[in-house]
Amino acid sequence: MHPYAAYFERYGEHGSIFLAGIPCVYHCHHFNLFHDQTIDDILGESAGFELRMKVARNHFRELFARLARRTGKELPNEIVALAQALLASLGHGRLICEGTGLALRAEGEYLHYGFAWKEKYGSRVRRLDPADAVAAGAVAAIAELTGQKDQRLIGRELQCVAMRAPRCVFAVDRDLSRDASRPISLEELRKHIPGGVERGLYEEEIHEITTKLIEFLRSVSGDERGLIEGFNVFVTLHLASYYNDTAFEAIRHIEAVSPGAVSSAESLLREAGHVCVFNTFGNIILSPEWEALVGPLTGDPRDVVRDCTAIARGLGFGHWAIAEHIPGKRIVLRTTANYEAAHWLCRSGPCSKSRSYFMQGAGVALLVLSTRVRWKERPQLTQAFYDGLFHGGDLGVRLEVPRCLTMGHEVTEVVVEAK
């Protein structure tokens, strides 16, 4: 059982995950690294790191404060201990903090972003900028909660293993710039999460598999390194608002300063869905743990789409439903709530176009992976394999989003067809 299991909540049939009232979602290191790189590509490395650090700081500060109140651990040393233990249990690695407030210093061991970047790219690429904006934000949040009331601080990563340093080292400083977006309350989010859910094809099977996956995840927690390693990936239970606010701010920035580049930025946010489905969903389907939950791998496109939909629900992406499925030709996904839409609506209200970027990309990847991967041969899901599927020219797929929650509709509908 997860050490903080008593503070988790699944919101109705939608499957949204809340920890002490803070929205969370499971994602693997491939998605996390790609998402962060996308934000940096849009804003530049320095501005991207600052935004990601501040968003992580604001939401971790709220999470740490809520858990401290609920557990009765509100002394500075208790808050430090709680934050360190929580981060490790969620798969973010281990922080070792000394001091409080502005005097706080920290070192990191096996931090999710720096460690995973080194594992994935370190032998081929020399990184010039630190990778652990999320950990830097967590350090700043701890410092704020243990220092002077209402003093805003920023976290700086002075050394990073992704840059071939022996360890990650952090310090804090005063924040003299404009604050990033404030956290959104559970009450605000629930205004945009309706009571009912969509029903679709293979519903009974998907519900049964989702139930088993949720039960399995109850016992998932960080190991002695503070990492969650499973399904051939490193997993985090992360702040949903981290992904949403960084994407929201980046898109708003590019819309204001360079409208001609918006479509390219949105394409990258959609591709994050390809990356997740290929790496996270794919490795789950190929794992012995999944075979124990679901049964032998068949490779049938129907079963692949069914299993991926169950995985999406289990990981907290929302209650996705398969409205239509013609193997190799057409997939229609629908949902009345996903972890993107409610957040965008709280930030800006209804938009003129769909902002459910992750779900769009995931829908495309479902059609590609269900028909172009020989699952029964148990392929290695390498970067070269991914590039061959998604970067080898025209995907031969048409994507449409005729309805979306972020456009004021009652449902998000993602239609993917083979050309």
Residues 164 and 202 in one domain: no
Q: Is residue 179 part of a domain?
A: no
Confidence (pLDDT) at 362: 97
Clarify whether residues 44 and 166 are in a common domain: yes
Inside any domain, residue 375: yes
Q: Are residues 130 and 201 in the same domain?
A: no
CATH code, domain carrying 409: 3.30.1380
Does 322 reside within a domain? yes
Per-position pLDDT tens, the chain of length 419? 788 999 999 887 888 899 999 999 999 999 999 999 999 999 999 999 999 999 999 999 999 999 999 999 989 999 999 999 999 999 999 999 999 999 999 999 999 999 999 999 998 989 999 999 999 999 999 999 999 888 899 999 999 999 999 999 999 999 988 666 677 777 788 888 877 888 999 999 999 999 999 999 998 999 999 999 988 899 999 999 999 999 999 999 999 999 999 999 999 999 999 999 999 999 999 999 899 999 999 999 999 999 999 999 999 999 999 999 999 999 999 999 899 998 999 998 999 999 999 999 999 999 999 999 999 999 999 999 999 999 988 888 999 999 999 999 999 999 999 98
Task: Please check whether residues 169 and 136 belong to one and the same domain.
Answer: yes
Does a structural domain hold residue 80? Answer: yes
**Residue 387, in any domain of the structure:** yes
- What's the CATH number where 34 sits? 3.30.1380.20
Pair 287, 187: CB distance under 8 Å? no
Residue 240 falls within a domain, yes or no? no
DSSP β-bridge partners for residue 322: 333
61 Cβ partners below 8 Å, 6+ apart? 140, 141, 144, 145
Shared domain for 138 and 224, answered yes or no, is no
pTM of the model: 0.96
Identify the CA nearest to 227 among candidates 91, 349, 351, 136.
91
Same domain? For 157 and 200 the reply is no
Q: Could you tell me if 103 and 201 lie in one domain?
A: no
132 & 202 share domain: no
Q: Are residues 35 and 147 in the same domain?
A: yes
Question: Is 219:1 a contact under the CB 8 Å cutoff?
Answer: yes
What pLDDT sits at residue 187? 77
Among the listed residues 96, 101, 21, the one whose alpha carbon sits nearest the alpha carbon of residue 63? 21
In this structure, is residue 254 part of a structural domain?
no
- Which class for 124: exposed (0-12), middle (13-18), buried (19 or more C-beta within 10 A)? exposed
**Which structural domain range is residue 408 located in?**
193-230+260-418
pLDDT for position 1: 77
Indicate whether 148 and 18 sit together in one domain.
yes
Q: Look up residue 255 and give its DSSP letter.
A: H
Residues 123 and 201 grouped into a single domain: no
Residue 187 located in a structural domain: no
The CA distances from residue 222 to 19, 111, 253, in Å, are 16, 11, 35
Long-range contacts of 42-50 (CB under 8 A, 24+ apart): 42/250, 42/251, 42/253, 42/254, 42/265, 42/268, 43/250, 43/253, 45/128, 45/129, 46/129, 48/133, 48/250, 49/129, 49/130, 49/133, 49/136, 50/154, 50/177
Q: Are residues 201 and 339 in the same domain?
A: yes
Sheet with 321-326, edge to edge strand ranges: 321-326, 330-335, 412-418, 397-403
**Total of domains in the chain:** 2
Whether residue 111 contacts residue 105, with contact meaning beta carbons closer than 8 Å, is answered with no
Strands (E), 43-152: 94-98, 105-109
